[in-house]
Protein backbone atom coordinates (compact mmCIF):
# COMPACT_ATOMS: atom_id res chain seq x y z
CA UNK A 1 0.00 0.00 0.00
CA UNK A 2 2.71 2.45 1.00
CA UNK A 3 4.79 1.67 -2.06
CA UNK A 4 1.79 2.14 -4.34
CA UNK A 5 0.92 5.43 -2.72
CA UNK A 6 4.50 6.58 -3.27
CA UNK A 7 4.21 5.74 -6.96
CA UNK A 8 0.97 7.68 -7.14
CA UNK A 9 2.44 10.76 -5.49
CA UNK A 10 5.38 10.70 -7.90
CA UNK A 11 3.02 10.47 -10.87
CA UNK A 12 0.94 13.37 -9.64
CA UNK A 13 4.04 15.46 -9.17
CA UNK A 14 5.04 14.89 -12.78
CA UNK A 15 1.63 15.38 -14.37
CA UNK A 16 -0.24 18.32 -14.45
CA UNK A 17 -9.91 17.95 -19.69
CA UNK A 18 -11.94 16.61 -17.37
CA UNK A 19 -12.53 13.39 -19.33
CA UNK A 20 -13.28 10.26 -17.35
CA UNK A 21 -12.24 6.95 -18.80
CA UNK A 22 -10.81 3.78 -17.39
CA UNK A 23 -11.46 0.29 -16.02
CA UNK A 24 -11.35 1.77 -12.52
CA UNK A 25 -14.15 4.22 -13.26
CA UNK A 26 -16.40 1.68 -14.97
CA UNK A 27 -15.90 -0.88 -12.22
CA UNK A 28 -16.92 1.70 -9.63
CA UNK A 29 -20.34 1.85 -11.30
CA UNK A 30 -20.62 -1.92 -11.68
CA UNK A 31 -19.96 -1.90 -15.43
CA UNK A 32 -17.82 -4.15 -17.61
CA UNK A 33 -14.22 -3.17 -18.27
CA UNK A 34 -15.04 -3.62 -21.97
CA UNK A 35 -17.43 -0.67 -22.01
CA UNK A 36 -20.87 0.51 -20.92
CA UNK A 37 -24.15 0.77 -22.79
CA UNK A 38 -25.21 3.93 -20.97
CA UNK A 39 -22.21 5.62 -19.30
CA UNK A 40 -19.95 7.84 -21.41
CA UNK A 41 -16.44 6.43 -21.16
CA UNK A 42 -13.49 6.05 -23.49
CA UNK A 43 -13.38 2.29 -22.92
CA UNK A 44 -16.66 2.09 -24.84
CA UNK A 45 -14.54 1.72 -27.97
CA UNK A 46 -14.07 -1.92 -26.96
CA UNK A 47 -17.83 -2.45 -26.95
CA UNK A 48 -18.63 -0.46 -30.09
CA UNK A 49 -15.76 0.32 -32.45
CA UNK A 50 -17.66 3.35 -33.83
CA UNK A 51 -17.13 5.09 -30.47
CA UNK A 52 -13.59 5.99 -31.61
CA UNK A 53 -15.27 8.94 -33.33
CA UNK A 54 -16.48 10.24 -29.96
CA UNK A 55 -13.40 9.36 -27.89
CA UNK A 56 -10.17 10.29 -29.63
CA UNK A 57 -6.84 11.95 -29.06
CA UNK A 58 -5.94 10.11 -25.86
CA UNK A 59 -3.63 7.48 -24.45
CA UNK A 60 -4.62 5.13 -21.64
CA UNK A 61 -2.64 2.91 -19.28
CA UNK A 62 -4.20 0.23 -17.08
CA UNK A 63 -1.86 -0.99 -14.35
CA UNK A 64 -1.61 -4.75 -13.90
CA UNK A 65 0.34 -7.82 -14.90
CA UNK A 66 0.53 -9.85 -18.08
CA UNK A 67 -2.36 -12.28 -18.64
CA UNK A 68 -0.21 -15.35 -17.89
CA UNK A 69 1.03 -14.55 -14.41
CA UNK A 70 0.00 -17.69 -12.51
CA UNK A 71 2.11 -20.74 -11.80
CA UNK A 72 2.33 -22.84 -14.93
CA UNK A 73 1.40 -19.93 -17.20
CA UNK A 74 -2.35 -20.55 -17.01
CA UNK A 75 -4.96 -18.13 -18.32
CA UNK A 76 -5.59 -15.43 -15.72
CA UNK A 77 -8.82 -13.48 -15.93
CA UNK A 78 -8.91 -9.75 -15.25
CA UNK A 79 -10.03 -9.43 -11.63
CA UNK A 80 -9.31 -6.99 -8.83
CA UNK A 81 -7.04 -9.60 -7.29
CA UNK A 82 -5.23 -10.26 -10.60
CA UNK A 83 -5.61 -7.10 -12.74
CA UNK A 84 -4.32 -7.38 -16.30
CA UNK A 85 -2.32 -4.60 -17.87
CA UNK A 86 -3.49 -3.03 -21.13
CA UNK A 87 -3.31 0.30 -22.87
CA UNK A 88 -3.54 2.09 -26.15
CA UNK A 89 -3.54 5.21 -28.27
CA UNK A 90 -6.42 6.72 -30.29
CA UNK A 91 -5.91 9.79 -32.50
CA UNK A 92 -7.52 11.70 -35.36
CA UNK A 93 -5.87 12.20 -38.74
CA UNK A 94 -7.63 14.10 -41.51
CA UNK A 95 -11.14 12.63 -41.72
CA UNK A 96 -10.33 9.36 -39.99
CA UNK A 97 -9.72 8.18 -36.45
CA UNK A 98 -7.24 5.39 -35.89
CA UNK A 99 -5.59 3.69 -32.96
CA UNK A 100 -3.62 0.82 -31.50
CA UNK A 101 -4.38 -1.18 -28.36
CA UNK A 102 -2.28 -3.73 -26.50
CA UNK A 103 -3.17 -6.42 -23.97
CA UNK A 104 -6.98 -6.30 -24.08
CA UNK A 105 -7.46 -10.08 -23.95
CA UNK A 106 -10.90 -11.70 -23.93
CA UNK A 107 -12.23 -12.26 -20.43
CA UNK A 108 -14.68 -14.89 -21.66
CA UNK A 109 -12.06 -16.86 -23.61
CA UNK A 110 -9.64 -16.96 -20.68
CA UNK A 111 -12.39 -18.10 -18.33
CA UNK A 112 -13.33 -20.92 -20.69
CA UNK A 113 -9.71 -21.97 -21.15
CA UNK A 114 -9.31 -22.21 -17.38
CA UNK A 115 -12.41 -24.40 -17.21
CA UNK A 116 -10.87 -26.83 -19.68
CA UNK A 117 -7.48 -26.94 -17.96
CA UNK A 118 -5.64 -24.72 -15.52
CA UNK A 119 -2.46 -25.29 -17.55
CA UNK A 120 -3.75 -23.81 -20.81
CA UNK A 121 -2.29 -20.41 -21.63
CA UNK A 122 -4.58 -17.45 -21.99
CA UNK A 123 -4.67 -15.01 -24.86
CA UNK A 124 -1.27 -13.34 -24.91
CA UNK A 125 0.45 -10.56 -26.87
CA UNK A 126 -2.99 -9.26 -27.90
CA UNK A 127 -2.78 -6.44 -30.44
CA UNK A 128 -5.75 -4.47 -31.82
CA UNK A 129 -6.04 -1.93 -34.61
CA UNK A 130 -8.92 0.61 -34.71
CA UNK A 131 -10.15 2.79 -37.53
CA UNK A 132 -13.28 4.89 -37.83
CA UNK A 133 -14.89 7.81 -39.60
CA UNK A 134 -18.07 9.79 -40.15
CA UNK A 135 -19.91 9.51 -43.46
CA UNK A 136 -23.20 10.87 -42.21
CA UNK A 137 -23.26 7.75 -40.05
CA UNK A 138 -20.37 7.18 -37.67
CA UNK A 139 -18.65 3.86 -38.28
CA UNK A 140 -15.80 1.94 -36.75
CA UNK A 141 -13.78 -1.23 -37.29
CA UNK A 142 -11.32 -3.09 -35.08
CA UNK A 143 -9.12 -6.11 -35.72
CA UNK A 144 -7.45 -8.10 -32.96
CA UNK A 145 -4.86 -10.85 -33.05
CA UNK A 146 -2.82 -12.72 -30.45
CA UNK A 147 -0.25 -15.45 -30.84
CA UNK A 148 2.27 -17.25 -28.66
CA UNK A 149 4.14 -20.55 -28.88
CA UNK A 150 6.48 -22.49 -26.58
CA UNK A 151 7.89 -25.54 -28.36
CA UNK A 152 9.83 -26.69 -25.29
CA UNK A 153 6.59 -27.13 -23.33
CA UNK A 154 4.45 -28.02 -26.37
CA UNK A 155 2.23 -24.96 -25.89
CA UNK A 156 0.36 -22.81 -28.42
CA UNK A 157 -2.20 -20.04 -28.15
CA UNK A 158 -3.82 -18.08 -30.99
CA UNK A 159 -6.83 -15.85 -31.55
CA UNK A 160 -8.28 -13.57 -34.21
CA UNK A 161 -11.32 -11.33 -33.82
CA UNK A 162 -12.99 -8.29 -35.30
CA UNK A 163 -15.53 -5.67 -34.28
CA UNK A 164 -17.90 -3.50 -36.29
CA UNK A 165 -19.98 -0.59 -35.06
CA UNK A 166 -22.26 2.22 -36.24
CA UNK A 167 -23.81 5.26 -34.59
CA UNK A 168 -26.72 7.09 -36.25
CA UNK A 169 -28.58 9.74 -34.30
CA UNK A 170 -29.96 8.15 -31.15
CA UNK A 171 -29.18 4.60 -32.24
CA UNK A 172 -26.00 2.62 -31.72
CA UNK A 173 -25.31 -0.92 -32.96
CA UNK A 174 -22.30 -3.21 -32.71
CA UNK A 175 -21.10 -6.68 -33.61
CA UNK A 176 -17.98 -8.21 -32.08
CA UNK A 177 -16.93 -11.49 -33.66
CA UNK A 178 -14.39 -14.04 -32.44
CA UNK A 179 -13.34 -15.73 -35.66
CA UNK A 180 -10.90 -18.17 -34.05
CA UNK A 181 -9.59 -18.82 -30.55
CA UNK A 182 -7.41 -21.86 -29.87
CA UNK A 183 -5.01 -23.10 -27.21
CA UNK A 184 -3.20 -26.35 -26.54
CA UNK A 185 -0.67 -27.89 -24.22
CA UNK A 186 0.40 -31.43 -24.98
CA UNK A 187 -2.73 -33.40 -25.82
CA UNK A 188 -5.10 -30.94 -24.08
CA UNK A 189 -6.81 -28.69 -26.62
CA UNK A 190 -9.26 -25.79 -26.60
CA UNK A 191 -10.85 -25.01 -29.99
CA UNK A 192 -13.10 -21.96 -29.98
CA UNK A 193 -15.73 -21.81 -32.71
CA UNK A 194 -17.32 -18.67 -34.11
CA UNK A 195 -18.35 -16.43 -31.21
CA UNK A 196 -20.48 -13.32 -31.53
CA UNK A 197 -21.64 -10.38 -29.45
CA UNK A 198 -24.48 -8.36 -30.97
CA UNK A 199 -25.99 -5.27 -29.45
CA UNK A 200 -28.18 -2.25 -30.06
CA UNK A 201 -28.63 0.85 -27.86
CA UNK A 202 -31.53 3.24 -28.36
CA UNK A 203 -31.90 6.61 -26.66
CA UNK A 204 -35.49 6.90 -25.38
CA UNK A 205 -35.98 10.29 -23.72
CA UNK A 206 -33.44 10.30 -20.85
CA UNK A 207 -32.78 6.55 -20.94
CA UNK A 208 -30.41 4.36 -22.92
CA UNK A 209 -32.35 1.17 -23.61
CA UNK A 210 -30.21 -1.71 -24.80
CA UNK A 211 -30.20 -5.34 -25.89
CA UNK A 212 -26.97 -7.36 -25.77
CA UNK A 213 -26.58 -10.95 -27.01
CA UNK A 214 -23.54 -13.20 -26.66
CA UNK A 215 -23.07 -16.67 -28.15
CA UNK A 216 -19.90 -18.70 -27.69
CA UNK A 217 -19.09 -22.33 -28.44
CA UNK A 218 -15.94 -24.43 -28.22
CA UNK A 219 -14.72 -28.01 -28.31
CA UNK A 220 -12.24 -29.43 -25.84
CA UNK A 221 -9.99 -32.48 -25.82
CA UNK A 222 -8.46 -34.06 -22.73
CA UNK A 223 -9.97 -31.58 -20.26
CA UNK A 224 -8.13 -31.88 -16.95
CA UNK A 225 -9.47 -29.15 -14.69
CA UNK A 226 -11.68 -30.75 -12.05
CA UNK A 227 -12.72 -27.34 -10.74
CA UNK A 228 -13.97 -26.42 -14.20
CA UNK A 229 -15.69 -29.24 -16.09
CA UNK A 230 -15.02 -31.84 -13.41
CA UNK A 231 -13.81 -34.73 -15.52
CA UNK A 232 -13.33 -36.72 -12.30
CA UNK A 233 -17.08 -37.31 -12.17
CA UNK A 234 -16.64 -39.79 -14.99
CA UNK A 235 -13.99 -41.94 -13.31
CA UNK A 236 -11.35 -40.82 -15.78
CA UNK A 237 -8.44 -38.41 -15.76
CA UNK A 238 -9.54 -36.54 -18.89
CA UNK A 239 -12.66 -35.81 -20.93
CA UNK A 240 -13.62 -34.64 -24.42
CA UNK A 241 -16.66 -32.62 -25.33
CA UNK A 242 -18.31 -29.37 -26.33
CA UNK A 243 -19.46 -26.30 -24.40
CA UNK A 244 -22.03 -23.70 -25.46
CA UNK A 245 -22.65 -20.37 -23.72
CA UNK A 246 -25.51 -17.96 -24.46
CA UNK A 247 -26.52 -14.82 -22.61
CA UNK A 248 -29.16 -12.15 -23.20
CA UNK A 249 -29.21 -8.78 -21.46
CA UNK A 250 -32.05 -6.29 -21.73
CA UNK A 251 -31.70 -3.11 -19.74
CA UNK A 252 -32.13 0.62 -19.36
CA UNK A 253 -29.71 3.12 -17.87
CA UNK A 254 -29.94 6.80 -17.05
CA UNK A 255 -27.45 9.50 -16.12
CA UNK A 256 -29.01 12.52 -14.38
CA UNK A 257 -27.24 15.73 -13.40
CA UNK A 258 -28.27 16.83 -9.92
CA UNK A 259 -26.33 20.08 -10.21
CA UNK A 260 -23.11 21.34 -11.77
CA UNK A 261 -21.02 19.01 -9.65
CA UNK A 262 -23.00 15.80 -9.15
CA UNK A 263 -24.40 13.10 -11.44
CA UNK A 264 -26.49 10.10 -10.51
CA UNK A 265 -26.22 6.84 -12.46
CA UNK A 266 -28.98 4.25 -12.39
CA UNK A 267 -29.55 1.01 -14.27
CA UNK A 268 -32.02 -1.86 -14.27
CA UNK A 269 -31.17 -4.98 -16.25
CA UNK A 270 -32.66 -8.39 -16.98
CA UNK A 271 -30.07 -11.14 -17.56
CA UNK A 272 -30.61 -14.65 -18.87
CA UNK A 273 -27.74 -17.10 -19.30
CA UNK A 274 -27.83 -20.67 -20.56
CA UNK A 275 -24.89 -23.06 -20.70
CA UNK A 276 -24.73 -26.56 -22.14
CA UNK A 277 -21.91 -29.00 -21.55
CA UNK A 278 -21.76 -32.14 -23.69
CA UNK A 279 -19.22 -34.84 -22.91
CA UNK A 280 -18.40 -37.27 -25.72
CA UNK A 281 -15.92 -39.28 -23.66
CA UNK A 282 -15.22 -41.12 -21.45
CA UNK A 283 -19.04 -41.37 -21.45
CA UNK A 284 -21.69 -39.49 -23.39
CA UNK A 285 -23.69 -37.15 -21.18
CA UNK A 286 -25.08 -33.61 -21.09
CA UNK A 287 -25.35 -31.01 -18.33
CA UNK A 288 -26.87 -27.57 -18.63
CA UNK A 289 -27.72 -24.58 -16.46
CA UNK A 290 -30.12 -21.66 -16.75
CA UNK A 291 -29.72 -18.46 -14.75
CA UNK A 292 -32.09 -15.51 -14.42
CA UNK A 293 -30.99 -12.28 -12.77
CA UNK A 294 -32.50 -8.83 -12.22
CA UNK A 295 -29.77 -6.50 -10.92
CA UNK A 296 -30.28 -2.83 -10.12
CA UNK A 297 -27.42 -0.32 -9.72
CA UNK A 298 -27.35 3.24 -8.38
CA UNK A 299 -24.19 5.36 -8.36
CA UNK A 300 -22.98 8.92 -7.99
CA UNK A 301 -20.06 10.95 -9.35
CA UNK A 302 -19.21 14.19 -7.55
CA UNK A 303 -16.71 16.90 -8.50
CA UNK A 304 -15.42 17.63 -5.01
CA UNK A 305 -12.62 19.86 -6.33
CA UNK A 306 -11.38 20.92 -9.74
CA UNK A 307 -8.76 18.20 -9.36
CA UNK A 308 -10.76 15.57 -7.40
CA UNK A 309 -13.78 13.47 -8.38
CA UNK A 310 -15.44 11.10 -5.92
CA UNK A 311 -17.48 8.09 -7.03
CA UNK A 312 -19.55 5.33 -5.48
CA UNK A 313 -22.27 2.84 -6.27
CA UNK A 314 -24.38 0.08 -4.79
CA UNK A 315 -25.96 -2.80 -6.67
CA UNK A 316 -28.13 -5.75 -5.75
CA UNK A 317 -30.12 -8.42 -7.51
CA UNK A 318 -33.86 -7.90 -6.99
CA UNK A 319 -34.49 -11.43 -8.23
CA UNK A 320 -32.23 -14.32 -9.17
CA UNK A 321 -32.61 -17.99 -9.88
CA UNK A 322 -30.33 -20.71 -11.16
CA UNK A 323 -31.57 -24.08 -12.45
CA UNK A 324 -29.39 -27.06 -13.36
CA UNK A 325 -30.06 -30.03 -15.64
CA UNK A 326 -31.64 -31.89 -12.71
CA UNK A 327 -34.21 -29.10 -12.29
CA UNK A 328 -32.69 -28.11 -8.97
CA UNK A 329 -33.21 -24.42 -8.33
CA UNK A 330 -31.29 -21.99 -6.16
CA UNK A 331 -31.14 -18.26 -5.50
CA UNK A 332 -27.92 -16.34 -5.96
CA UNK A 333 -26.30 -15.33 -2.67
CA UNK A 334 -24.44 -12.20 -1.57
CA UNK A 335 -25.62 -10.02 -4.45
CA UNK A 336 -25.21 -6.68 -2.63
CA UNK A 337 -22.04 -4.96 -3.82
CA UNK A 338 -20.69 -1.54 -2.82
CA UNK A 339 -17.91 0.08 -4.84
CA UNK A 340 -16.14 3.41 -4.40
CA UNK A 341 -13.33 5.24 -6.15
CA UNK A 342 -11.90 8.60 -7.03
CA UNK A 343 -10.27 10.43 -9.90
CA UNK A 344 -7.39 12.90 -9.75
CA UNK A 345 -7.20 15.46 -12.57
CA UNK A 346 -4.14 17.46 -13.59
CA UNK A 347 -4.67 19.32 -16.85
CA UNK A 348 -5.13 16.56 -19.44
CA UNK A 349 -3.97 13.75 -17.18
CA UNK A 350 -6.39 11.67 -15.10
CA UNK A 351 -5.54 9.06 -12.46
CA UNK A 352 -8.49 6.81 -11.53
CA UNK A 353 -8.68 4.32 -8.67
CA UNK A 354 -11.20 1.66 -7.70
CA UNK A 355 -12.03 0.46 -4.18
CA UNK A 356 -14.19 -2.64 -4.37
CA UNK A 357 -16.20 -4.02 -1.46
CA UNK A 358 -14.13 -7.21 -1.55
CA UNK A 359 -10.79 -5.42 -1.88
CA UNK A 360 -8.36 -5.29 1.04
CA UNK A 361 -5.93 -2.93 -0.67
CA UNK A 362 -7.72 -0.61 -3.07
CA UNK A 363 -4.72 0.98 -4.75
CA UNK A 364 -3.20 -2.42 -5.36
CA UNK A 365 -6.39 -3.62 -7.04
CA UNK A 366 -7.04 -0.98 -9.71
CA UNK A 367 -5.18 2.10 -10.90
CA UNK A 368 -5.69 3.67 -14.34
CA UNK A 369 -4.18 6.65 -16.11
CA UNK A 370 -5.49 8.56 -19.11
CA UNK A 371 -3.97 11.50 -20.94
CA UNK A 372 -6.18 13.56 -23.27
CA UNK A 373 -4.38 15.72 -25.82
- Determine the Cα–Cα distance for residues 106 and 258; give it in Å rounded to an integer: 36
pLDDT of residue 124: 84
Question: For residue range 251-283, what is the model confidence (pLDDT) as tens digits?
Answer: 999 999 999 999 999 999 999 999 999 988 888
pLDDT of residue 355: 79
Question: For residue range 3-38, what is the model confidence (pLDDT) as tens digits?
Answer: 443 433 333 333 333 455 789 999 999 999 999 999
- pLDDT class of 82 with cuts at 50, 70, 90: confident
Look at the pTM and tell me if it is higher than 0.95: no
Question: For residue range 227-250, what is the model confidence (pLDDT) as tens digits?
Answer: 677 666 666 678 899 999 999 999
- pLDDT class of 157 with cuts at 50, 70, 90: very high
CB 21 within 8 A of CB 370: yes
> Burial code of 146-174, b = ≥16 C-beta within 10 A, e = fewer?
bebeeeeeebbbbbebbbbbbbeeeebbb
pLDDT at 93 exceeding the cut of 80: yes
The CATH number given to 2-372 is: 2.40.160
pLDDT of residue 216: 96
CB 47 within 8 A of CB 31: no
pLDDT of residue 244: 96
Q: List C-alpha distances in Å: 248 to 110, 115, 123, 198, 293.
A: 20, 22, 25, 10, 11
- Determine the Cα–Cα distance for residues 259 and 230; give it in Å rounded to an integer: 53
Mean pLDDT of 180-194: 93
pLDDT of residue 20: 57
pLDDT of residue 13: 34
Question: For residue range 336-354, what is the model confidence (pLDDT) as tens digits?
Answer: 889 999 999 988 899 998 8
Mean pLDDT value across the chain: 86
- Determine the Cα–Cα distance for residues 322 and 353; give it in Å rounded to an integer: 33
pLDDT of residue 236: 67
Per residue, the 3-state secondary structure of the chain, as one string, reads: CHHHHHHHHHHHHHCCCCCCCCHHHHHHCCCECCECCCCCCHHHHHCCHHHHHCCCCEEEEECCECCCCCCCCCCCCCCCCCCECEEEEEEEECCEEEEEEECCCCHHHHHHHHHHCCCCCCCCCCEEEEEEEECCCEEEEEEEEEEEEEHHHCEEEEEEEEEEEEEECCEEEEEEEEEEEEEEECCEEEEECCEEEEEEEEEECCEEEEEEEEEEEEEEEEECCCCCCCHHHHCCCCEEEEEEEEEEEEEEEEEEECCCCEEEEEEEEEEEEEEEEEEEECCCEEEEEEEEEEEEEEEEEEEEECCEEEEEEEEEEEEEEEEECCCCEECCCCCCEEEEEEEEEECCEEEEEEEECCCCCHHHHCEEEEEEC
Amino acid sequence: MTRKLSYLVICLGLLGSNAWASKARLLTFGESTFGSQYIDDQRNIHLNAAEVNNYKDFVMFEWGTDSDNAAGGSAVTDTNATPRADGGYIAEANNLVYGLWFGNESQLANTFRNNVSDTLKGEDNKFEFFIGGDAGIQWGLKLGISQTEDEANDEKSNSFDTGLGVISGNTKAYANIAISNTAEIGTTEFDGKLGVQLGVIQKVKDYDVYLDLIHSNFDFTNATNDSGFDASNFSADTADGEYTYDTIKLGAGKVKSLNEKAKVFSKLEIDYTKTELKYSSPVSTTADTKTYNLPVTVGIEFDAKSWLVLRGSISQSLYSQSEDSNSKKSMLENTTVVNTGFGLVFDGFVIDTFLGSSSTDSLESRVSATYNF
